[in-house]
Amino acid sequence: MSKISAWGNYPVIEANLIKYWDSNSLNFEDNKEYIAYGNGRSYGDSALGENIVKVREKDLFLDFDQKSGLLHVQAGVLLSEILEHFVPRGWFLKVTPGTKLITIGGAIASDIHGKNHHIEGCFSECVEEFTILLDSGKIEVCTKESNPDLWRATCGGMGLTGVILDAKIYLKKIKSKYIDQTTIKTANLKETFEAFEEYKDMPYSVAWIDCLAKGDSIGRCLLMVGDFLEDGDLSYNLKKQKSIPFNFPTFALNNLSVKAFNWLYYGKVKERISKQKVDIDTFFYPLDAIGHWNRIYGKNGFTQYQFILPKEQSLKGLEEILYEISASGKGSFLAVLKLYGKANDNWLSFPMEGYSLALDFKIEPGLFELLDKLDEIVLKYGGRIYLTKDVRVSKENFEKGYPNIEKFREYRKEMGFDKRFQSLQSKRVKI
Amino acid sequence: MSYILIVGAKSDIAKAVAREYANSGYNIYLAGRKIDTLDAFAKDLTIRYQIEAKLVELDILNFKSHQEIYNSLDKKPVGVITAVGYLGNQELAQKDFNEAKRIIDTNYTGVVSLLNIVANDFEERKEGFIVGISSVAGDRGRKSNYIYGSAKAALTTYLSGLRNRLSSVNVKVLTVKPGFVDTQMTKDLDLPKKLTATPKEVAKDIFNAQQKGKDILYTKWFWRYIMLIIKTIPEWKFKNMSI
Ligand SMILES: Cc1cc2nc3c(=O)[nH]c(=O)nc-3n(C[C@H](O)[C@H](O)[C@H](O)COP(=O)(O)OP(=O)(O)OC[C@H]3O[C@@H](n4cnc5c(N)ncnc54)[C@H](O)[C@@H]3O)c2cc1C
Ligand SMILES: NC(=O)c1ccc[n+]([C@@H]2O[C@H](COP(=O)([O-])OP(=O)(O)OC[C@H]3O[C@@H](n4cnc5c(N)ncnc54)[C@H](OP(=O)(O)O)[C@@H]3O)[C@@H](O)[C@H]2O)c1
């Protein structure tokens, strides 16, 4: 038994870790439940369970086709490893989240999205096929066409259909490691929305919202949009990471992030619209520059609350929620706001056309009551909660947001997956 | 670019070492028994690092085969790294000499058989480097693993002699003494987390030490001091201890 947790450091559990295994001889024991664990960058309890199958060690690059950019890798390969070896050759990920330290298995299981969701969709859109271990000795190669049910249940299925072993994904061509970034400073939520609309043809966009703002300035932000340059500079040097060596006392945190935002908002970004040339790591993965930054939340851990609202309801809903958060005095002072494109047809994928907000909360008394309250608002406006960030949502609040949940449940039952694959999260929300 | 020969290549440490060298542009020979199982790993090296990687079937216990295998390498390596090892079962080895012999031969005799051949070649070519993975277990005999430990102690002494012999022809020999490493070898042991290195950390240490031409490497670094303390405990006291 070993201690393990995911990125939020909450909960920390004792589990049986299975690290050395071979897909051909991984014998699942009857009456025992298993869950795959990639690199633990999900925030809550979706990768935690009694018996944890560690996939990170399965990290082989199996094949690469220069012409089409189709890369075949084992499921434990990190996105950062792909970048390290392929950016210098002029290739980049079609879809990438805000950290490069996740595995391919985790990217598929959460059907993750990036700053370009409104253009490229979710991660599954760049997956050609994956291989999955469904039960001892039962391995299936799955494409969207060959087994649509398994596909729709696995992409976004949070590890609840089996252990993904490898996948073929398409990379995209780039001509530079630099991004031509435009930063737009807005004064309130309405302006923020207008700015998103104005720049919606830009491939990449994301906004940092100041959650401290009150009254008329609620929703003020720095919106950053951009696209790759074409200057031919592909040298991609891994930067030395700074690391947070131990858990911070929590008071340190708020001061830090307030200062950071104010520094940017009032100091660095002077004009309403400004231009920067930034590299891949700065643009896509600013937080990865500091290893173990999760420790700044202290030893009790933290969670991230991420929800999405349909477009027509976004302005009203967000106003209400930001007001609620600001009144509670909880939550990080920065939140990430993003515009999303159309939903895909995977049963549990998070994105839908609209706006999503994500912000961190340290675990403390009264927090879950507040988040329950926010759930009510999210659901009232027809939104949903992102499972890969979640550690507390109730079954009722979760399922209201996911119209295909019954299909997912039935499919799991029918295939017997519910007896084999369970996480703490899947038990909580009964999926 | 030149080749590095990695012996015992199926070991987790060896694989991490292979990636370090490939990352610097070296081509790699991966040698070990039933080496076909490293097919995918070799392909991984070629895709990641755009180098060549070849498999070489080699059983360290089949002493007689070593010369022929070495001769058969088209391009002679500029460096040889040996990671073969066998922890074995101490209790069994106390009762059954076959187990003791296997521990000794895998960790020591077999490595001597192979490195003799390599050393002769390097001496003649006046170039090359040799890295031998020994262990801190060879620094002092303990009841829990002294058969393994004594074989590693012999290896350490062998490498030290080899270094002495080859220094005049500018062939460098590095003795690596890992402490606890999280690998297949130790998967059933309950290792203290703070003292345990990952194969990748060990591999980086090995690569850096070899490139700098160091003689002896403790990895992680603090094992040098841990072993210093353990070595200074007087024998009359040590004999009654359980560590
Ligand atoms: C700083 C930061 C920024 C982030 N930004 C974004 C973002 O912009 N967009 C976004 O979508 N997400 C984002 N995330 C969330 C992250 O991308 C997902 O949680 C991702 O799934 C983590 O992958 P992992 O390999 O660490 O998997 P884990 O956290 O280990 O597991 C996550 C889920 O995937 C399952 N899983 C993992 N591997 C396998 C496998 N081989 N087979 C089957 N199931 C598997 C697990 O069972 C679990 O349900 C961010 C996270 C962090 C820490
Ligand atoms: N892990 C530690 O804590 C630790 C500490 C100190 C030193 N070391 C040393 O580090 C080295 C690497 O060990 P590791 O931890 O990576 O463990 P490992 O995976 O068990 O490595 C040992 C390797 O030796 C190979 N080998 C054994 N007998 C062989 C034979 N007859 N012919 C060819 N190859 C043979 C094994 O191959 P097979 O798969 O074919 O058996 C295996 O690849 C060893 O020398 C070990 O003694 C390890």
Q: Tokens 């932000």 — which residue?
A: A221
Chain mean pLDDT for chain A: 93
* Closest in B47, B49, B187 to A64, CB measured: B47
Interchain contact B48–A (C-beta under 8 A) = yes
- Taking the C-alpha atoms of residue A340 and residue A205, their distance in angstroms, rounded to an integer, is 10
* Closest in B43, B49, B187 to A20, CB measured: B187
Shortest Cα–Cα distance, B49 to chain A (Å): 7
Closest-CA residue of chain A to B48? A85
Distance of CA A128 to the CA centre of its chain: 20
Ligand 1 pocket test: pick from A110, A113, A160, A294 the residue with the most ligand atoms within 8 Å of its Cβ: A110
Interchain contact A277–B (C-beta under 8 A) = no
Torsion of CA A322, A326, A332, A338, to 10 degrees: 10
* Closest in A20, A60, A85 to B40, CB measured: A60
- Taking the C-alpha atoms of residue A243 and residue A284, their distance in angstroms, rounded to an integer, is 19
Closest-CA residue of chain A to B183? A20
CA A35 / ligand 1 centre spacing (Å)? 13
Q: Which residues of B103-132 are buried (b: 16+ CB within 10 A; e: fewer)?
A: bbbbbbbbbbbbbebbbebbbeeebbbbbb
**SS3 of A194, please?**
helix
Enter the tokens of residue B231.
């070595």
> How confident is the model over A143-147, as a mean pLDDT?
98
Q: Which residues of B touch A81 (CB under 8 A)?
A: 48
Q: Whose CA is nearest to atom 2 of ligand 2?
A: B181
Enter the tokens of residue A354.
């609209």
Q: Tokens 């027809």 — which residue?
A: A382
Counting ligands in written order, the one closest to the CA of A116 is: 1
Closest-CA residue of chain B to A60? B44
Nearest partner of A330 among A295, A365, A294, A375, judged by Cα: A365
CA A178 / ligand 1 centre spacing (Å)? 26
Shortest Cα–Cα distance, A90 to chain B (Å): 14
Q: Does the pLDDT at position A251 exceed 60?
A: no
Enter the tokens of residue A379.
């659901």
> How confident is the model over A141-151, as a mean pLDDT?
98
CA end-to-end span of chain A: 26
User: The dihedral of CA A83, A88, A91, A94: what is its sign?
Assistant: positive
Q: Which of A39, A60, A74 should one mutate to test binding to chain B, selecting the residue with the greatest count of B CBs within 10 A?
A: A60
Provide the pLDDT for residue A394. Answer: 98
Q: Residue B189 burial (CB < 10 Å; 0-12/13-18/19+)?
A: exposed
Is A109 near ligand 1, meaning CB less than 6 Å away?
A: yes
H or E segment and range at residue B173: strand B172-178
Interchain contact B44–A (C-beta under 8 A) = yes
Torsion of CA B86, B91, B94, B100, to 10 degrees: -10
> How confident is the model over A190-202, as a mean pLDDT?
96
Provide the pLDDT for residue A330. Answer: 83
Interchain contact A62–B (C-beta under 8 A) = yes
DSSP state at residue A171: E
Shortest Cα–Cα distance, A80 to chain B (Å): 12
Q: Please identify, by atom number, the ligand 2 atom nearest to the C-alpha of residue B191.
A: 3
DSSP state at residue A115: T
Q: Which residues of A touch B184 (CB under 8 A)?
A: 20
Q: Which residues of A321-349 are buried (b: 16+ CB within 10 A; e: fewer)?
A: bbebbbebebbbbbbbbbbbbebbebbbb
Q: Which residues of B touch A60 (CB under 8 A)?
A: 40-41, 43-44
Q: What is the CA radius of gyration of chain B?
A: 18
Q: Higher-confidence residue: B70 or A271?
A: B70
Counting ligands in written order, the one closest to the CA of A304 is: 1
pTM here is 0.95
Helix B146-166 vs helix B97-104: crossing angle, to nearest 10: 30
Q: Do the beta carbons of residue B36 and residue B55 sit within 8 Å?
A: yes
- Taking the C-alpha atoms of residue A37 and residue A75, their distance in angstroms, rounded to an integer, is 10
* Residue A335 CB-half CA count within 13 A: 29
pLDDT, one tens digit per residue, over A259-299 is 666 667 766 677 889 999 999 999 999 888 888 888 888 88
Provide the pLDDT for residue B234. Answer: 96
Q: Does the pLDDT at position B108 exceed 70?
A: yes
| Least confident among A29-33, A64-68, A427-431, B187-191 | B187-191
DSSP state at residue A241: P
Nearest partner of A306 among A411, A412, A369, A390, judged by Cα: A390
Count interface pairs A-B at CB distance under 8 A.
22
Provide the pLDDT for residue A257. Answer: 64
Nearest partner of A181 among A263, A251, A286, judged by Cα: A286
pLDDT, one tens digit per residue, over B110-128 is 999 999 999 999 999 999 9
- Taking the C-alpha atoms of residue A424 and residue A43, their distance in angstroms, rounded to an integer, is 13
CA B235 / ligand 1 centre spacing (Å)? 53
Shortest Cα–Cα distance, A374 to chain B (Å): 40
Q: Is residue A11 reached through a cis peptide bond, with omega within 30 degrees of 0 on the bond before it?
A: yes
DSSP state at residue A103: B
Shortest Cα–Cα distance, B209 to chain A (Å): 20
Mind listing the domains of chain A with CATH numbers? 61-174 (3.30.465.10), 178-399 (3.30.70.2520)
Mind listing the domains of chain B with CATH numbers? 3-238 (3.40.50.720)
User: Any residues with Cβ below 6 Å from ligand 2, and which?
Assistant: B 8, 10-13, 32-34, 59-61, 83-86, 106, 133, 135, 178, 180-181, 183-186
Chain mean pLDDT for chain B: 97
Counting ligands in written order, the one closest to the CA of A23 is: 1
Confidence check on the interface: ipTM exceeds 0.85, yes or no: yes
Provide the pLDDT for residue B185. Answer: 87
Widest CA span in chain B = 56
Q: Do the beta carbons of residue A33 and residue A420 sit within 8 Å?
A: yes
DSSP state at residue A240: P
**Amino acid of residue A354:** G
> How confident is the model over A338-367, as a mean pLDDT?
96
Shortest Cα–Cα distance, B223 to chain A (Å): 21
Provide the pLDDT for residue A213. Answer: 82
Pairing of strands A127-135, A163-173: antiparallel
Closest-CA residue of chain A to B44? A61
Counting ligands in written order, the one closest to the CA of A74 is: 1
- Taking the C-alpha atoms of residue A186 and residue A205, their distance in angstroms, rounded to an integer, is 14
> How confident is the model over A9-32, as a mean pLDDT?
95
**Amino acid of residue A177:** K
Is A341 near ligand 1, meaning CB less than 6 Å away?
A: no
Q: Does the pLDDT at position A181 exceed 90?
A: yes
> How confident is the model over A304-312, as a mean pLDDT?
97
Interchain contact B184–A (C-beta under 8 A) = yes
Contact A61 B43 (CB under 8 A): yes
Is A97 near ligand 1, meaning CB less than 6 Å away?
A: yes
Number of H helices and E strands in chain B, helices first, is 10, 9
> How confident is the model over A122-132, as a mean pLDDT?
98
Q: What angle do CA B177, B181, B187 make, to 5 degrees?
A: 135
Provide the pLDDT for residue B44. Answer: 98
DSSP state at residue A264: I
Q: Does the pLDDT at position B46 exceed 80?
A: yes
Q: Determine what percent of chain A is predicted with pLDDT higher than 70.
A: 95
- Taking the C-alpha atoms of residue A357 and residue A219, their distance in angstroms, rounded to an integer, is 11
Q: Do the beta carbons of residue B177 and residue B156 sit within 8 Å?
A: yes
